[in-house]
Structure 1
Amino acid sequence: DYDLETQGKYLLPTNISRANLLQKEQAGRTQSGECCRLFTRCNQRLSFVDFPQADMITSSLDNIYLQGKLLNVNNVKTFLQDALYPSSIEAIEHAVQYYMVLVH
């Protein structure tokens, strides 16, 4: 996850999604291989969420904002606000301020 206050990523123990679980089964793509999963019986009984959270929610928007500028997106701020899984207004504003510091 990304912490806006410290501007850094941190690791959290989380349950994996069903999509991640299925992806891990394909560990040996170029050759045969094994995949081992370790979780408790309690975790096994829990239903897994279908998909992991979008990167826009768990990552710094600074680089995403800069990529939008490089791709000549008309209004990157609006683009980020209208995303399928938008980040918080605070995170978007931070990305805008970060860009302003870089260009001035």
Structure 2
Amino acid sequence: MAISTVHDREADAVYVTLAHGAPVRTVEFDPGTVVDVDAAGNPIGIEILRPCREWPLAAISERFALNAATVDTLASIADGFRRPFHVSDAFRSIDMSRLVQAPC
């Protein structure tokens, strides 16, 4: 399964689905990061509140022995939320109110 994300802008949260399955418990890494785990103890999803902040990827990777490709993908997703939105002068005519990200 490919990793997928759902971003809830109103809640300022992102959910990253790692695998199919039903969560049987949740592991909290910090007050804004939880990992849903299946019956076998495998991570199936990660919820991040305020996704523009630093994600505890090292701790999650260590706890669940995530492979390098998964860690790289998660790091890329996290970086996408931390980078400020830049627009070149050529695109100033776009309605920017529809593109603004929530502040950290």
Q: TM-score of the superposition, structure 2-length normalised?
A: 0.35
The structure whose Rg is larger is: 1
- Could you say which structure has the greater relative contact order, defined with CA pairs below 8 angstroms and 6 or more residues apart? 1
Q: TM-score of the superposition, structure 1-length normalised?
A: 0.35
Structure with a larger share of its residues in strand: 2
